[in-house]
Amino acid sequence: MALTFYPETHYILAMTTVRRDRKLPDDAAAGEVLVTERQRVEPSTTLLRGTRAGHFRVVPIKTAALGVRRLSDIKPEWIIVQEGTLVRAGEPLIQRGQGRGARKFSVPFSSVVARIEADRFILQETPETVEVRALYTGIVSALRSRREVQIEAVGALVQGVWGNGRDTFGTVAEAPEAGLQSLASEEILTTYRGQILLTRLPLTAQTLAVVERQQVAGVIAPAMPAELIPQVLAMNAPVLLTEGFGEHKMSDIVYNLLRDNDGRQVALDAVEPKRFSAQRPELFIPLPGGVSLPPLPERGQGLFPGVQVRIARAPNAGQAGRVVRVFETPQVLETGLRVSGAEIQLGSGKLVFVPIDNLESLGRALDRRR
Amino acid sequence: MVFQDENTLYALPETLLPTAGTSLLGADFGSVHTRAVFIDQVDGQYRLVSRAQALTTADAPYGDVTVGLGRALDQMTALIGRGFLAGDRIAIGPGFGAVGAEQFVATASGGRPMRAVLVGLMADVSLASGKHALGSVYTDLADVISIGDLRSEEAKVNAILGKRPDLIFIVGGTDFGAQSTLLALVKTVRLALSLLPAENRPIIVYAGNEAMRETVTILLTDLAEVFPAANVRPALNREYLAGAELELAVAYGRYKAMTGGYRDMPALTRLGVLPTASSYSTIIRYLGGVTSGGVLALDIGSSTVTIAASLAKRGYLNIRPDLGVGHSAVSAVEQIGAERVLRWLTYKSSVSDVLDYVYNKTLKPATIPGTPEELEMEFALAREIAREALESARRGWPRRARIAPFATLIGAGAVLTQALDPGLSAMLLLDAVQPAGIVRLQSDPYAVIPALGAAAYMTPLVAVQVLESGGLLDLGTALCTEGVTRAADAMQIDVKYSDGRTASRIVPNNAFRLIDLPGGQRARITVRLARGLTISGKSRLTLDVDGGAAGIICDTRGRPLRPPADLGKRRDLLVRWFIGARAAVTQAPRAETSGPAPTDEENP
């Protein structure tokens, strides 16, 4: 039995079927599903509506308002709400008698009755409404629950490495070769406004200032200094990095795929990677499918000759290639580390040895794509 | 094997104890890697037979740790020919013949720590002990509710609901002392629990006033799962953590079983998934009990640093979930400051470069340094992370023990154990801990400690025999000088090998040198130190030392280590240390003893 290694996966696929779960935020209560199964949806279609829970308030019962001295004097039938009842500010929770002479203990703010206890009410302040849009052009493939809907879409998929937590949908426009700085002049301003800017060069403080002035809908860039993170997180427009932090240029495989789809609409989901969340930023370009759906991205692909991979770290970071040979015994790197690895043929034809840990499969074997 | 000391006594409920068997499969689920070890009886002794690792698959898109474990087991099968699967399931238990293992233990350090709310009475009494107990498992302390807390009940309830804890740890009151104050807090907890959807309710561990145990259990048990434990503060001047730590470990296993990726674990092991750190604590306490002098284990992981120490036969465990060289690299640098990392680099770099490095590492924690510059950055980060973790661990040690020398240091985690070679592992460990005196250095490159610590609950002999039969890698014996000297040469060392050969070496001041002495061998050495320097308070000493993969490690760099601020000088010095750590001086020929001792410049 031969050793099989399983590298990380980083999806870069020219044509695939994706299934994306669109769900209410964790802190939102389940609400209503606004679509039906197999329904076609557009990026702006609202799929789900829920509520973000308000604070709980402890409201002691005031006996004086009811004209009684002791809590024990309150009769159960006077309580006119139940747990779960939605009440508006000023509406009574307890009412003694009828008509104009009725004595009432009213709720001071709009809320939901969460708990009724002998001496107090626990009320939840009226929750805030939260909506979830489709973001992808596709069909509703599954209604998972009142808080989660699955969308199926066909197109090109490029996984990023970092995002600023925003999303959008729009047309990609490539920044000038001279760099984003050259966009400062007013006459170009209207050209890029409302579009998703694609740049091959790393973002800098200077170029970010230009981006903000241009009021672009989003930015796809290879990298930026980590020091700019606070500034980018504060931006309204989504920013997605394809390579990482520092001085990296956009890798050819990503750039070529985006350039091939120049002028198409793109769903840009610039999720900010969180330590304990598996969600990753990505951009998706919806494309017309054929008679049958293209295959889903492959996960957990073993490392075999022919598999297409990307190199995750220097040297050769970002470069894609094909596995030529997998070494079962550790080899010595330039650093002196002895590690398991594979021989990779880069696009230029050059052969390089790369540790398994620094390889990412792209989601499909090259041979199977052909 | 004695798994008890004055502070600790482990006693798992009988129902949890699996039947003992002769072979054991251990799996440790880290943030990045799943490490599997297979232990079996060879000639009547438990031995580490094989180990393998694969990427952990707890999170999406897999959401199932057994996928990664299965891959590691496939590797093991490729290495030793033994199968571990029966169909698509891991074969655990008797009756599988030459397939699988009879026992299985699982530990985990990866994944989101339990978000905890601590409820108790006095800040420096029960709450302090509560925090100490929480330090034994992977928790993120989200809030503390106490009698000193001036928030209204409403605010406390909202705090609990808002923090969405996985665990509420209730402590407070001495045994059979006053109850009313703690009871009021428990009622607040009850109210908060009642407002949470059933599926979101946290686990409750109660370790307060013994007299209230039943009341608290009755009050909360219809709303949440309650784990009662012995009081962490049975008397004002007495802290007892073992009972609470055990229940917290079981609660951790329950929490893990509830989080998707570990749902198959209960079927494989009745012990559940134990915290990896508990294993370190167990093994270090054992080693501390059978060796003279303190023992310290330092595990630098991707997301967590664990320090387990045995000082004066008493165990101390410190977990820092905010420090690590992968997932926690960014929070680590936020704690230690990028400048501290820069002082270990031999090339020009900046705070901005360090930030870029750690952010990239957090994005791709499984990757390894691909260039010499990246490797230096990784080692620099590891050194400073370890320093930071040790500083915080020391604050929990008894004052006298803080300056006590450790007789044994054990390094764990890929950055310490899978360095270029054993000499470098030894140097990194010494740089991190900076001990003085004579220290035995070991490492755990096979990640066997997590399995042994868990196995000790059911078959202590497994841990004893595997540790005795080379389960840990001996790096060697380090001789670390203290003091300052102006002399060019710091140490002369004469080595008498067990086969009668001798060697003599001179080690310069501020240097790091290795003298070959293979593992399993002992040698008698005589050390003479330059004026101003001592080892264990002596300037001349003769002793027997154990060898190891690095050999005899001579460290005349003094304490604390201060690489020069000037880049040129720093480069010269660090490169010399690095070369010294990589080049073991081979055993000197017999004839050498008759001539003058060679100086460092003559060494390869």
Cβ proximity of A113 and A81 under 8 Å: yes
Q: Tell me how far apart the alpha carbons of residues A203 and A237 are, in angstroms, rounded to a whole number.
A: 14
> A363: domain CATH number?
2.30.30.30
Segments in B86-212 forming alpha helices (H): 126-134, 153-163, 180-195
pLDDT given at position A1: 65
Amino acid identity at B457: Y
**Backbone dihedral angles phi then psi of residue B125, each to the nearest 5 degrees:** -120, -95
Q: Tell me B94's DSSP state.
A: T
Q: Tell me how far apart the alpha carbons of residues B316 and B135 are, in angstroms, rounded to a whole number.
A: 10
pLDDT given at position A4: 86
* Percent of chain A surpassing pLDDT 90: 65
Cβ proximity of B186 and B170 under 8 Å: yes
Residues A182 and A100 in one domain: no
B560 touches chain A (CB under 8 A): no
Query: What residues of chain B lie within 8 A of the CB of A7, using their CB?
Result: 55
Residues A276 and A340 in one domain: no
Chain A (207-226) residues lying within 8 Å, Cβ to Cβ, of chain B: 225-226
The token pair at B242 is 């073992």
B309 Cα to chain A: minimum distance (Å): 29
Cβ proximity of B343 and A213 under 8 Å: no
Cβ distance of B195 and A122 shorter than 8 Å: yes
Please write the tens of the pLDDT for every residue from B558-588.
Answer: 989 989 999 999 999 999 999 999 876 544 3
Confidence band, pLDDT 50/70/90 cuts, at residue A77: very high
Where is average pLDDT lowest: A240-249, A324-333, B401-410, B418-427?
B401-410
Domain ranges across chain B: 4-110+264-274, 114-255
A327 touches chain B (CB under 8 A): no
User: Last residue of some domain: A67, A98, A125?
Assistant: A125
Best of B57, B160, B364, B373 to mutate (most A CBs within 10 Å, chain A): B364
Cβ distance of A225 and B362 shorter than 8 Å: no
Amino acid identity at A242: T
Does B591 score more than 50 pLDDT? no
pLDDT given at position B404: 61
pLDDT given at position A183: 66
Query: What is the three-state SS of B426-461?
Result: HHHHHHHHCCCEEEEEEECCCCCHHHHHHHCCCCHH
- What's domain B4-110+264-274's architecture? 2-Layer Sandwich (3.30)
A56 touches chain B (CB under 8 A): yes
Segments in A140-235 forming alpha helices (H): 186-192, 205-214, 229-233
Identify any residues that bridge with A51 across adjacent strands, giving them in sequence order. Answer: A29, A129
Q: Tell me how far apart the alpha carbons of residues A134 and A283 are, in angstroms, rounded to a whole number.
A: 14
Please write the tens of the pLDDT for every residue from B526-558.
Answer: 999 999 999 999 999 999 999 999 999 999 999
- Which parts of B232-322 are beta strand (E)? 273-275, 294-300, 305-311, 314-320
pTM score of the predicted model:
0.89
DSSP string, B209-233: -GGGHHHHHHHHTTTS-EEE---S-
Residues A235 and A311 in one domain: no
Confidence band, pLDDT 50/70/90 cuts, at residue A368: very low
Is the torsion defined by CA of A293, A294, A295, A296 positive or negative? negative
Its domain, for residue A344, covers 300-369
Query: Mean pLDDT over all residues of chain B?
Result: 89
Cβ proximity of B369 and B400 under 8 Å: no
A114 touches chain B (CB under 8 A): yes
Residues A328 and A220 in one domain: no
Query: What's the half-sphere exposure (Cβ side, CA atoms, 13 Å) at A275?
Result: 21
Residues A271 and A311 in one domain: no
Choosing among 3.40.50.720, 3.65.10.10, 3.30.980.10, 3.40.50.360, the CATH entry for B114-255 is 3.40.50.360
Query: What residues of chain A lie within 8 A of the CB of B67, using their CB?
Result: 300
**Backbone dihedral angles phi then psi of residue A237, each to the nearest 5 degrees:** -80, 140
User: Would you call A91 exposed, middle or buried from its count of C-beta atoms within 10 A (0-12, 13-18, 19+)?
Assistant: middle
Is the torsion defined by CA of B233, B239, B241, B243 positive or negative? negative
A212 belongs to a structural domain: yes
DSSP string, A278-325: ----EEEEE----SSPPPPPP-S----TTEEEEE-SSSSTT-EEEEEE
Does B590 score more than 80 pLDDT? no
Q: Tell me B59's DSSP state.
A: S
B60 touches chain A (CB under 8 A): yes
Return the residue of A nearest to B60 by Cα: A278
Residues A102 and A171 in one domain: no
Q: Tell me how far apart the alpha carbons of residues A309 and A326 are, in angstroms, rounded to a whole number.
A: 12
Cβ distance of A335 and B369 shorter than 8 Å: yes
Cβ distance of B356 and A357 shorter than 8 Å: no
Return the residue of B nearest to A244 by Cα: B360
Best of A1, A20, A115, A303 to mutate (most B CBs within 10 Å, chain B): A1
Omega of the bond prior to B560 within 30 degrees of 0, cis? yes
Cβ distance of B57 and A300 shorter than 8 Å: yes
Mean pLDDT, residues B172-194 taken together = 92
Best of B356, B375, B424 to mutate (most A CBs within 10 Å, chain A): B356
The token pair at A333 is 């790197």
- Give the rounded distance of the alpha carbon of B76 from its chain centre: 25
**Backbone dihedral angles phi then psi of residue B163, each to the nearest 5 degrees:** -80, -15
Cβ distance of A276 and B352 shorter than 8 Å: no
Query: What residues of chain A lie within 8 A of the CB of B427, using their CB?
Result: none
Residues A166 and A274 in one domain: yes
Of B67, B158, B355, the CB nearest to A300: B67
The token pair at B240 is 């007892």
Chain A (144-203) residues lying within 8 Å, Cβ to Cβ, of chain B: 161-162
Query: What's the half-sphere exposure (Cβ side, CA atoms, 13 Å) at B473?
Result: 19
The CA distances from residue A302 to A359, A367, B69, in Å, are: 11, 14, 15
Query: What residues of chain A lie within 8 A of the CB of B327, using their CB?
Result: 275
Cβ distance of A6 and B71 shorter than 8 Å: yes
Query: Mean pLDDT over all residues of chain A?
Result: 89
Helix or strand (DSSP H, E) at B143: strand B139-145
A101 touches chain B (CB under 8 A): no
Chain B (576-595) residues lying within 8 Å, Cβ to Cβ, of chain A: 582
A190 Cα to chain B: minimum distance (Å): 34
pLDDT given at position A96: 93
Mean pLDDT, residues A318-327 taken together = 94
Residues A190 and A113 in one domain: no
User: Last residue of some domain: A66, A99, A125?
Assistant: A125
pLDDT given at position A84: 83
Where is average pLDDT lowest: A13-27, A186-200, A245-259, B29-43?
A186-200
CB neighbours (10 Å) of residue A152? 18
A119 Cα to chain B: minimum distance (Å): 14
Confidence band, pLDDT 50/70/90 cuts, at residue B402: low
**Backbone dihedral angles phi then psi of residue A220, each to the nearest 5 degrees:** -115, 115
Helix or strand (DSSP H, E) at B576: helix B567-582
Rg of chain A over Cα atoms, rounded to whole angstroms, equals 28
A285 belongs to a structural domain: no
Residue A242 neighbours by CB under 8 Å, 6+ apart: A158, A160, A161, A220, A221, A222, A223, A250, A251, A254
* Percent of chain B surpassing pLDDT 70: 92
Confidence band, pLDDT 50/70/90 cuts, at residue A369: very low
Q: Tell me B346's DSSP state.
A: S
> A226: domain CATH number?
3.50.30
State ipTM.
0.88
* Percent of chain B surpassing pLDDT 90: 72
A64 touches chain B (CB under 8 A): no
User: Taking every pair of C-alpha atoms in chain B, what is the biggest distance, in angstroms?
Assistant: 84
Mean pLDDT, residues B399-414 taken together = 82
Residue A117 neighbours by CB under 8 Å, 6+ apart: none
A136 belongs to a structural domain: no
Residue B221 neighbours by CB under 8 Å, 6+ apart: none
A60 touches chain B (CB under 8 A): no
Segments in chain A forming alpha helices (H): 63-66, 186-192, 205-214, 229-233, 252-260, 366-369
Cβ proximity of A8 and B366 under 8 Å: yes
Q: Tell me how far apart the alpha carbons of residues A267 and A252 are, in angstroms, rounded to a whole number.
A: 21
User: Last residue of some domain: A70, A104, A125?
Assistant: A125
Mean pLDDT, residues B327-335 taken together = 96
End-to-end alpha carbon distance in chain A: 28
Identify any residues that bridge with A29 across adjacent strands, giving them in sequence order. Answer: A51
pLDDT given at position B152: 93
A352 touches chain B (CB under 8 A): no
DSSP string, A62-78: -HHHHT-SSGGGS-GGG
Q: How many domains does chain A have?
A: 3
pLDDT given at position A214: 79
Cβ distance of A58 and B157 shorter than 8 Å: yes
Does B363 score more than 60 pLDDT? yes
The CA distances from residue B148 to B156, B174, B399, in Å, are: 12, 17, 28
What is the residue whose two structure tokens read 């928030």? B151
Candidates B502, B493, B549, B540; CA nearest to B521 is B549
